[in-house]
Structure 1
């Protein structure tokens, strides 16, 4: 069995973070491992508390994983402080980690800032250059490229700037009013569109976490980047269409729709 590691925060309601990542990796038939960067108290209506782990403890988690069950791919999600970003970068270099997918959790889909400016710079300098793929949403891609993104031409420009700066592939995620859930991959000086359908379902909590974990799972199984992205988008669409409908706010996806085919058991 292929293996994958998620380095991210914990979501107590199970819709995002490491819980979403582990469910996704399991649905893909990949053995999932986790290194937790923070505990969050949250549900579908919002976050009420965050408690970060220490740099030393995060380092011990990563040592325990890499010295025993070496991951075939790594997904990195929520990391909110400089010291934690630096220890992740140090350990990934030391263990020569491969197939690193970074979901730069900087700005929410609604436009709220989630990461301090100094931590953003550390994230860019330490982790982006180690990644095989970055998966920013449109607000994040705008910050990273330094340009406003108002249409699909701007998405191409932004992805090219980011890819050139950090030497990795960039998947600029659409779904923001002008774009009907179409994502843009910029890789090796060329771009590819991955078209998606806009699904009428407001329960989208954890879609970014899930997509990046699905892509990492595909890479862990030996698939190329384009195939991993295509299958990840199909998986997300199925999880949304399953319409799990839990919680009082923006609910979670049905991560096991492809196992139970949407049956409620």
Structure 2
């Protein structure tokens, strides 16, 4: 048995050893989405967050005014620094930007595999506007979808992936099957609205599981997709099953929207730190 001094880290204090999670995504200068939302979510979930920036945006609640992709060498150096020392047990991807970065990230994950990988396909905005060129979408399907443990497209992103509209639960189920056939072992289609219920559809090749919650009518939803996928990643890092991670993430994002502050003049962000600010 270890002596008390060792158990207390040699300093007379109990040592907390959190799970480590990684986000590979873009920076949002407004703090509402991207890397910033992911790291807040990891911290609120009591997971140690690490990051690899792929691109930098100049944005606020009213829109994006500039985007700059980072050089391959800088992206790879961040990844190697994290993986060689901090050993994340789960990771997520967010905004990858173009086919060059998608290919690079795929190579990095081949060099240092992360089994628990949540792929959030940031390719279409919540308004349905494309955020990724067609060539990059093809690269994403070929290189990122098969590497995911779970992929979490909203219905607009699902439409981009399968090339057809996704408007109701039946469409969501069909889209999930098609994306599963692209190589993802688990697919969660988000954002189908029926009456007053928000429905997410999970498909794992054996059947469908539906997750639902009351629809929250709020203008403060910027970063909701990033926060949701980061919450899934945090729980996977701690060893939870996909189903348990999804249940946690659904509760987490509901509270993040309900407790979102009024920030800026546009679409305000959700509040990943709700448990801290309201404790």
| Partner SS for 1:173 | strand
CA deviations 1:129-152 (Å, max 9, x no partner) are: 110011101011122123322211
CA distance in 1, matches of 2:195, 2:201: 14
* Match among 86, 89, 95 for residue 78 of structure 1: 95
The CA distance in 1 between the partners of 2:128 and 2:252, in whole Å, is 25
CA contact (8 A) 1:4 1:33 kept: yes
Correspondent of 2:82 among 36, 59, 65: 65
**CA-CA distance at 1:189 after TM superposition:** 2.4
C-alpha distance 237-167 of structure 1, shift in aligned 2 (>3 A): closer
Summarize the Cα distance change of 1:95–1:154 in structure 2 as closer, same or farther, 3 Å threshold: same
Deviation at 1:179, TM superposition (A): 7.2
> In the alignment, what sits opposite 2:6?
none
CA contact (8 A) 2:19 2:89 kept: yes
Structure 1 residue runs without a partner (length 5+): none
Alpha-carbon distance between aligned partners in 2 of 1:146 and 1:52, rounded to the nearest angstrom: 27
Match of 1:99 in 2: 116
What residue number does 1:188 align with? 205
From the CA coordinates, give the structure whose radius of gyration is larger: 2
TM-score for both structures, normalised by structure 2: 0.91
Q: Offset at 1:229?
A: 0.5
1:161-240 to structure 2, matched below 5 A, reads 161-176=178-193, 180-240=197-257
- Over 3 Å counting, the alpha-carbon distance change for 1:236 and 1:167 in structure 2 is closer
The CA distance in 2 between the partners of 1:189 and 1:45, in whole Å, is: 42
Deviating more after overlay: 121-130 vs 223-232: 121-130
Q: Which residue of 1 aligns with 2:22?
A: 5
The residue number in structure 2 matching 1:87 is 104
SS for the counterpart of 2:182 is helix
Could you tell me whether the CA contact under 8 Å between 1:28 and 1:217 is conserved in 2? yes
Give unmatched runs, 5+ long, in structure 2. 1-17
RMSD: 1.3
How far apart are residue 175 of structure 1 and its match? 4.4
- SS of the residue aligned with 1:148? coil
Indicate which of 267, 271, 275 corresponds to 1:254: 271
Q: Which of 133, 147, 170 in structure 2 is aligned with 1:116?
A: 133
Higher mean Cα deviation, 188-197 or 21-30? 188-197
TM-score scaled to structure 1, two decimals? Answer: 0.95
| Aligned-residue offset at 1:176 | 4.6
TM-superposition CA deviations, 1:67-119 (whole Å, max 9, x none): 11111111100011122111111111111212100111111111101000111
Q: Which stretch shows the higher mean deviation, 133-142 or 180-189?
A: 180-189
Deviation at 1:178, TM superposition (A): 6.1
1:188-247, CA deviations, whole angstroms, 9 ceiling, x for partnerless residues?
321100001111211000000000100011100100000100110100011111131111
